Amino acid sequence: MDWSAITPYLLPGLVFLTMLVGWLGLIIPIYPGLNIIWLAALVYAIVDGFAWPAWLFFTFITLLMIAGNLADNLFVGTKARQTGASWWSITFGYLAGIIGTFLLPIIGGVVFTILGVLLIEMLRTKDWKLAWVTTKAMAFGIGWAVVSRIALGAIMILSWLIWHLV
């Protein structure tokens, strides 16, 4: 087999597949999909070299990754805090989500996060309706975080594709 014909396509293909796996995993709240996409771009940049315009594209992808990770935490925590959730509820929700991801992959993270917030808020406020309002806000924040991560991940991958084709 003549490997010289395959070699130019091997690295970009592996990078793209890795990015695709990272992007598809973004529906799972604790899955570091944006970081996986970024790491694939980093590997490509190192192998390809940081010549012009590689460093420009990589910088843009890095900024998107940072923005996505910040937005993720901002959407989830802020929505719950706006309705009166305590930091204890939010923290417990995050921890329950991490455990839930391992117990019920894919949906466990979301389900356990929401149930964790609901439980702590019910214990804290002794008011079902108030706890439910906070829990709905947390769920809404999780939804927007997923949407923002998916959109930013798509922009990161599209940026890499443009970088690769230039």
pLDDT in tens, 121-131: 999 999 999 99
pLDDT score recorded for residue 81: 86
pLDDT digits (tens, 9 = 90+) for 80-90: 888 888 889 99
pLDDT score recorded for residue 119: 95
CA angle 141, 147, 148 (to 5 degrees): 85
d(CA 34, CA 84): 30
pTM here is 0.83
pLDDT score recorded for residue 14: 94
Secondary structure of the chain: what % helix, strand, coil (to 5)?
85, 0, 15
Residue among 75, 122, 121, 115 nearest 95 (CA): 115
Q: What is the 3-state secondary structure (H, E, C) of 48-81?
A: HCCCCCHHHHHHHHHHHHHHHHHHHHHHHHHHHH
